[in-house]
Amino acid sequence: MEQIAQQNLGSADAAFASVVDQLKLNDQGLVPAVAQDVKSGEVLMLAWMNAESIRHTFETGYATYWSRSRNELWKKGETSGHLQKLMDFRVDCDGDTILLLVEQTGAACHTNRKNCFFRAPRDGKLTTLFEPI
Protein backbone atom coordinates (compact mmCIF):
# COMPACT_ATOMS: atom_id res chain seq x y z
CA MET A 1 0.00 0.00 0.00
CA GLU A 2 1.17 3.49 -0.73
CA GLN A 3 1.94 5.56 2.34
CA ILE A 4 0.40 9.00 2.43
CA ALA A 5 1.42 11.56 5.02
CA GLN A 6 -1.51 12.80 7.01
CA GLN A 7 -0.57 16.45 6.63
CA ASN A 8 -1.12 16.28 2.86
CA LEU A 9 -4.85 16.34 3.54
CA GLY A 10 -4.69 20.02 4.45
CA SER A 11 -6.27 21.79 7.40
CA ALA A 12 -9.10 19.97 9.15
CA ASP A 13 -11.56 22.70 8.18
CA ALA A 14 -10.59 22.70 4.52
CA ALA A 15 -10.40 18.91 4.24
CA PHE A 16 -13.80 18.55 5.90
CA ALA A 17 -15.40 21.16 3.63
CA SER A 18 -13.94 19.59 0.48
CA VAL A 19 -15.26 16.15 1.39
CA VAL A 20 -18.65 16.87 2.90
CA ASP A 21 -19.64 18.89 -0.14
CA GLN A 22 -19.28 15.79 -2.35
CA LEU A 23 -20.92 13.24 -0.07
CA LYS A 24 -24.39 11.84 -0.55
CA LEU A 25 -25.52 11.00 2.96
CA ASN A 26 -28.45 8.62 3.37
CA ASP A 27 -31.76 9.67 4.89
CA GLN A 28 -30.23 9.23 8.34
CA GLY A 29 -27.33 11.53 7.44
CA LEU A 30 -24.90 8.61 7.30
CA VAL A 31 -22.46 7.09 4.84
CA PRO A 32 -20.67 3.73 5.13
CA ALA A 33 -16.94 3.94 5.82
CA VAL A 34 -14.55 1.06 5.13
CA ALA A 35 -11.37 1.03 7.21
CA GLN A 36 -8.33 -0.51 5.56
CA ASP A 37 -4.91 -1.09 7.13
CA VAL A 38 -2.55 1.16 5.20
CA LYS A 39 0.39 -1.18 5.71
CA SER A 40 -1.05 -4.65 5.10
CA GLY A 41 -3.99 -3.71 2.88
CA GLU A 42 -6.27 -5.74 5.14
CA VAL A 43 -9.91 -4.65 5.22
CA LEU A 44 -10.49 -4.12 8.93
CA MET A 45 -14.15 -3.17 9.41
CA LEU A 46 -17.07 -1.17 8.13
CA ALA A 47 -18.78 1.48 10.22
CA TRP A 48 -20.86 4.58 9.58
CA MET A 49 -19.97 8.26 9.57
CA ASN A 50 -22.02 11.43 9.66
CA ALA A 51 -20.81 14.98 9.08
CA GLU A 52 -19.95 15.43 12.75
CA SER A 53 -17.84 12.27 12.89
CA ILE A 54 -16.03 13.23 9.67
CA ARG A 55 -15.19 16.63 11.15
CA HIS A 56 -13.98 14.94 14.34
CA THR A 57 -11.84 12.54 12.29
CA PHE A 58 -10.06 15.37 10.48
CA GLU A 59 -9.69 17.45 13.64
CA THR A 60 -8.21 14.66 15.75
CA GLY A 61 -6.41 12.64 13.07
CA TYR A 62 -8.10 9.47 14.35
CA ALA A 63 -11.06 7.59 12.85
CA THR A 64 -14.30 8.59 14.53
CA TYR A 65 -17.56 6.96 13.52
CA TRP A 66 -21.20 7.43 14.37
CA SER A 67 -22.53 4.66 16.58
CA ARG A 68 -25.99 3.77 15.29
CA SER A 69 -26.74 1.66 18.36
CA ARG A 70 -25.69 4.28 20.92
CA ASN A 71 -26.61 7.24 18.71
CA GLU A 72 -23.40 9.08 19.54
CA LEU A 73 -19.92 9.86 18.27
CA TRP A 74 -17.65 6.84 18.53
CA LYS A 75 -13.94 7.47 18.50
CA LYS A 76 -12.68 4.03 17.57
CA GLY A 77 -10.45 2.65 20.33
CA GLU A 78 -11.24 5.38 22.84
CA THR A 79 -11.84 2.81 25.58
CA SER A 80 -9.90 -0.19 24.20
CA GLY A 81 -6.88 1.79 23.02
CA HIS A 82 -7.31 0.24 19.58
CA LEU A 83 -7.10 3.56 17.78
CA GLN A 84 -7.06 4.07 14.03
CA LYS A 85 -4.67 6.81 12.97
CA LEU A 86 -5.95 8.49 9.82
CA MET A 87 -3.52 8.18 6.91
CA ASP A 88 -5.88 8.95 4.05
CA PHE A 89 -9.55 9.68 3.45
CA ARG A 90 -10.90 8.52 0.09
CA VAL A 91 -14.29 9.33 -1.41
CA ASP A 92 -15.79 7.04 -4.03
CA CYS A 93 -17.11 7.91 -7.49
CA ASP A 94 -20.70 8.35 -6.33
CA GLY A 95 -19.86 10.08 -3.04
CA ASP A 96 -21.75 7.45 -1.11
CA THR A 97 -18.88 5.46 0.41
CA ILE A 98 -15.72 6.45 2.29
CA LEU A 99 -12.48 4.50 2.43
CA LEU A 100 -10.28 5.29 5.43
CA LEU A 101 -6.64 4.24 5.24
CA VAL A 102 -5.49 3.85 8.81
CA GLU A 103 -2.70 2.71 11.05
CA GLN A 104 -4.48 0.28 13.35
CA THR A 105 -3.32 -0.15 16.93
CA GLY A 106 -4.15 -3.65 18.21
CA ALA A 107 -7.25 -5.47 17.07
CA ALA A 108 -9.82 -3.73 14.87
CA CYS A 109 -12.62 -6.10 15.87
CA HIS A 110 -14.44 -5.98 19.20
CA THR A 111 -13.85 -9.75 19.40
CA ASN A 112 -10.13 -8.85 19.60
CA ARG A 113 -9.48 -10.29 16.16
CA LYS A 114 -7.28 -8.30 13.82
CA ASN A 115 -10.25 -7.61 11.56
CA CYS A 116 -14.00 -8.23 11.60
CA PHE A 117 -14.19 -10.50 8.55
CA PHE A 118 -13.20 -13.77 10.17
CA ARG A 119 -16.08 -15.98 8.99
CA ALA A 120 -16.55 -17.63 5.61
CA PRO A 121 -18.26 -20.69 4.16
CA ARG A 122 -15.97 -23.71 4.03
CA ASP A 123 -17.46 -26.87 2.60
CA GLY A 124 -20.87 -25.29 3.06
CA LYS A 125 -20.49 -24.36 6.71
CA LEU A 126 -19.82 -20.88 8.06
CA THR A 127 -16.41 -21.27 9.64
CA THR A 128 -14.18 -19.12 11.85
CA LEU A 129 -10.96 -18.48 9.93
CA PHE A 130 -8.82 -16.92 12.65
CA GLU A 131 -8.84 -16.38 16.38
CA PRO A 132 -8.38 -13.36 18.67
CA ILE A 133 -4.85 -11.99 18.86
What is the contact surface with a copy of itself in residues (CB under 8 A)? 1, 4, 8-11, 13-15, 17-19, 21-22, 32, 34, 36, 40-43, 45-46, 88-94, 97, 99, 109-111, 113, 116-126, 129
Q: Return the C-alpha torsion angle 105, 106, 110, 113, nearest 10.
A: 130
70 vs 125 by CB, closer to a copy of itself: 125
72 vs 122 by CB, closer to a copy of itself: 122
- Among 61, 99, 98, 55, smallest CA distance to 77 is for 61
Q: What is the helix (H) or strand (E) element at residue 88, kind and residue range?
A: strand 84-91
73 vs 91 by CB, closer to a copy of itself: 91
